[in-house]
């Protein structure tokens, strides 16, 4: 999955970023580079698209269709015409993108249908006037979801069949709070919250608490006891003691 810088360029809060990530998770999309030369290339532009690991489908945007273009919207209409001619209408749609609609800012986004395209692959044989390059995107809709707490980004599995996942990148991503990826993949866990204490002693910090299958307040209290070095089954206290209205029945 790729989060494009031009999609996040106007973000001012983590909620904006979460929305961008969820959009990227929801619909597979790949983008061209920035179009610098012309919205009316003088020659045909041919590329291929693969859907769900099927056979490549050749697509040609004809120079005769693009000849009168004066804007990005004109070019997008021609690319969508080419996609329709190749039988990809309803599966892949070209959309305007980039930091603006002028040359030197504009890009083309190819977005797969969230309902029917799980994997979208753009195959480009070489350089071209539309700045297309080969790229792959995957649909994670219904499987992964982005959220936030405070200024922390959270990625969670929402499909009960997913028992584990990890995220990785070619380098650390400090902009997303994921600079740790520079040291290797980050493996997801089922921790619901972490407890830090000011006198950790010999115990590892933080204490990580998991609430899977915890259905009552007492279950939560017991989970905190167990996660902080205690054992609720033997009434052995942990480093942290939780209570409801200290002394009141639960």
Quote the CA–CA distance of 146 and 156 in Å, as a whole number: 6
Chain position carrying tokens 């489908």: 57
Low-confidence stretches of the chain (pLDDT < 70) are 199-205, 246-250
Model pLDDT, residue 244: 83
Contact 31, 108 (CB under 8 A): yes
The pairs formed by 175-179 with CB atoms below 8 angstroms and a separation of 24 or more are 176/3, 176/17, 177/151, 177/152, 177/153, 178/153
Model pLDDT, residue 166: 92
- Fold classified for 28-138: Immunoglobulin-like (2.60.40)
229: region left, alpha or beta (phi > 0 left; psi from -120 to 50 alpha):
left
Model pLDDT, residue 193: 85
Residues 6+ apart with CB under 8 A from 194: 206, 207, 208, 209
Quote the CA–CA distance of 16 and 14 in Å, as a whole number: 5
Domain ranges for the chain: 28-138, 190-250
Taking CA 14 as the corner, what is the angle to CA 12 and CA 16, rounded to the nearest 5 degrees?
Answer: 65
Model pLDDT, residue 201: 60
Model pLDDT, residue 140: 94
Model pLDDT, residue 186: 87
Mean pLDDT of the chain: 91
């Amino acid at each position: 999955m790729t989060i494009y810088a031009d999609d996040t360029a106007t973000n001012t809060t983590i909620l904006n970023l979460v929305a961008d990530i969820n959009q990227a998770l929801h619909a597979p999309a790949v983008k061209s580079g920035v179009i610098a030369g012309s919205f009316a290339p003088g020659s045909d532009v041919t590329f291929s698209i693969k859907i769900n690991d099927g056979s490549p489908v050749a697509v040609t945007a004809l120079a005769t269709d693009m000849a009168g273009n004066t804007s990005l919207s004109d070019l997008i209409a021609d690319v969508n015409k080419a996609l329709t001619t190749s039988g990809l209408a309803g599966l892949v749609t070209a959309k305007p993108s980039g930091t603006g609609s002028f040359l030197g800012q504009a890009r083309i986004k190819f977005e797969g249908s969230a309902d029917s395209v799980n994997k979208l692959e753009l195959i480009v044989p070489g350089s071209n006037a539309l700045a297309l390059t080969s790229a792959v995107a995957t649909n994670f809709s219904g499987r992964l979801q982005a959220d936030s707490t405070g200024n922390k980004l959270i990625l969670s599995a929402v499909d009960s069949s997913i028992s584990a996942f990890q995220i990785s990148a070619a380098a650390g991503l400090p902009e997303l709070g994921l600079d740790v990826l520079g040291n290797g993949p980050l493996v997801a866990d089922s921790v619901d919250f972490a407890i830090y204490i000011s006198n950790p002693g010999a115990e590892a910090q933080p204490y990580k608490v998991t609430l899977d299958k915890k259905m009552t307040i007492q279950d939560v209290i017991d989970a905190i006891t167990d996660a902080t070095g205690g054992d609720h089954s033997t009434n052995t206290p942990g480093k942290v003691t939780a209570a409801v209205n200290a002394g009141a029945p639960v």
